[in-house]
Amino acid sequence: MKRTRILDLPTCKEGSEVQISGWVDGVRALGKIAFLSIRDGTGTVQAVAKPTTSGWDLVEELSLETAISLRGILKKDERALGGVEIKATQLSIIAPSAPDYPIQPKEHSTGFLMSQRHLWIRRPLQASLLRIRSTVILAAQNHLDSLGYVRVDAPILTPTSCEGTTTLFKLDYFEKTAYLTQSGQLYNEATAHALDRVYCFGPTFRAEKSKTRKHLTEFWMLEPEAVGLGLEENISLQESLFCALIDGVLDAHEEELERRFKRDLRALKICQRPFPRMTFAEASSRLSSLGFPLDEEGDFGAQHEEELAKDVGRPFFVHHFPAAAKAFYMAPDPLDPSLSLSLDLIAPDGGGEITGGGVRIQDPNLLARRMDEEGLNRDDFSWYTDLRKYGGVQTGGFGMGIERMVRWLTGTHHVRETIPFPRTIDRLSP
């Protein structure tokens, strides 16, 4: 008999015979009747076994996570969670599970659960998060594809840094030194000159000693880059992508977001284009009037970001950051060279900076000067400056942290739950 996935049970007729297989999620044995909660990766269902069930003797061997196969009659029953249950006619064990399964149906600390991440992901909420992550990635690729963007991935092993050298993971590469990529941005400029509109998507590494719920040392970044993408076009692309991701997740997971994640769906549905936008200068005067002036350095702290986001109440752009605060390749504003043609997309409800991007410097002399100012060795970037030498045109783009996006969409507390196996400053396993 063919196995039915629990997800598909609602399409089966009541009273029909079904066969499922999955893992024991809970057992409540009452003597001559036993209630089994069975999870198969697509859903959870209750089965009822009685002494007439073939394999009844096995009930006493069912520890948590025992893999079983079960055949029975599908019945509607108000007393079962989900409204349906299976009256088991036949039960068999596929693979036993040791009785010391560490994750109990009770509160655990996040630290403990993270140490059991390989098992924790079996829990429905965690599995759901990974499913939503998959939807977000697919929606992003579909959207970019519909706009003519070609996926061209950047290397992960790189010879030089893209931004600061202090946050690089260094490794031996035969006789040389290599670094794990911090961004595919520089390579994107090369591929944009070959294919017009491109994006890369892959793991990104930052050896930042950050301990916050928005940071991972290994995260996945989606980076579109296109010829002629000025600030205005950049904003427009980000808006459409952001909305496409919201739509994609609502299409596939609306009920789940509400029931399982208790996400306020209005916060997602109010994200209509155009998004509010403000210059860095406007943001800082707005912060002053809110009672949170920037410090002397003029830097935007976590509190500033949060107060501003609270005030705006929905995702918004901050653009024209001071040039000094941005990477060497960010183009200055021709009207005021102390400002850069850069922008960040900030989400409310603690979502924080979801994207960061801008327009790249095209002028080779200016680029050389900026590299000198940042103390970068020009020779290391010869291929990059070559792009300017041979018909270099202006490109622009941005990077979106996929985990941050998933975190915001689902209202998850910490990014570490939005990636299968998180890497943080103090966690390298499992």
Partner RNA sequence: UCCGCGGUAGCUCAGCGGUAGAGCGGGUGGCUGUUAACCACUAGGUCGUGGGUUCAAAUCCCGCCCGCGGAGCCA
The dihedral through the CA atoms of 97, 101, 107, 108 has a sign that is negative
398 three-state secondary structure: strand
Alpha-carbon 365 to chain mean position: 38
Q: At its nearest, how many Å lie between RNA and the CB of residue 194?
A: 23
From 268-276, 282-290, 381-389, 396-404, give the range in contact with RNA by CB under 7 A. Answer: 396-404
Structure tokens at 407: 């975190």
DSSP label at 381? G
Q: Is 50 in the site for RNA (CB under 7 A)?
A: yes
Query: Which one among 3, 10, 76, 81 touches RNA, defined by CB under 7 A?
Result: 81
Interface with RNA in residues 133-152 (CB under 7 A): none
Q: Is 255 in the site for RNA (CB under 7 A)?
A: no
Q: Is 213 in the site for RNA (CB under 7 A)?
A: yes
Interface with RNA in residues 363-392 (CB under 7 A): none
Q: Is 296 in the site for RNA (CB under 7 A)?
A: no
DSSP label at 329? T
From 108-116, 141-149, 262-270, 312-320, give the range in contact with RNA by CB under 7 A. Answer: 108-116
Q: Is 83 in the site for RNA (CB under 7 A)?
A: no
Q: Ramachandran region of residue 217, left (φ > 0), alpha (ψ -120 to 50) or beta?
A: alpha
Longest dimension (CA), the chain: 85
CB burial readout 65-93, b (16+ within 10 A) else e: bbebbbbbebeeeeebeeebbbbbbbbee
If the CB atoms of residues 158 and 217 are measured against RNA, the closer one turns out to be: 217
From 5-13, 105-113, 243-251, 269-277, give the range in contact with RNA by CB under 7 A. Answer: 105-113
Query: Which one among 399, 406, 410, 412 touches RNA, defined by CB under 7 A?
Result: 399
Burial class (CB in 10 A: 0-12, 13-18, 19+), 125: middle
Question: How many residues lie near RNA (CB under 7 A)?
Answer: 74
Q: At its nearest, how many Å lie between RNA and the CB of residue 175?
A: 29
From 224-232, 239-247, 286-294, 397-405, give the range in contact with RNA by CB under 7 A. Answer: 397-405
Q: At its nearest, how many Å lie between RNA and the CB of residue 360?
A: 13
Q: How do the residues of the chain divide into helix, strand and coil, expressed in percent and rounded to 5?
A: 35, 30, 35
Q: At its nearest, how many Å lie between RNA and the CB of residue 283?
A: 14
Interface with RNA in residues 25-44 (CB under 7 A): 26, 28-33, 35
Tokens 């801008």 sit on residue: 358
Structure tokens at 102: 């560490």
Q: Is 302 in the site for RNA (CB under 7 A)?
A: yes
CA distance 278 to 191: 31
Structure tokens at 362: 């095209």
Query: Which one among 1, 11, 13, 79 touches RNA, defined by CB under 7 A?
Result: 79
DSSP string, 65-88: T-EEEEEEEEEE-TTSTTSEEEEE
If the CB atoms of residues 351 and 392 are measured against RNA, the closer one turns out to be: 351
Query: Which one among 144, 268, 354, 376 touches RNA, defined by CB under 7 A?
Result: 354
**Residues found in the chain:** 430
Q: Is 176 in the site for RNA (CB under 7 A)?
A: no
DSSP label at 59? G
Q: Are 355 and 361 in contact (CB under 8 A)?
A: no
CA distance 355 to 347: 9
If the CB atoms of residues 306 and 333 are measured against RNA, the closer one turns out to be: 306
Q: At its nearest, how many Å lie between RNA and the CB of residue 427?
A: 6
If the CB atoms of residues 61 and 363 are measured against RNA, the closer one turns out to be: 61
Query: Which one among 110, 146, 272, 338 touches RNA, defined by CB under 7 A?
Result: 110
Q: Is 400 in the site for RNA (CB under 7 A)?
A: yes
Q: Is 105 in the site for RNA (CB under 7 A)?
A: yes
Q: Are 357 and 326 in contact (CB under 8 A)?
A: no
Query: Which one among 2, 13, 95, 104 touches RNA, defined by CB under 7 A?
Result: 104
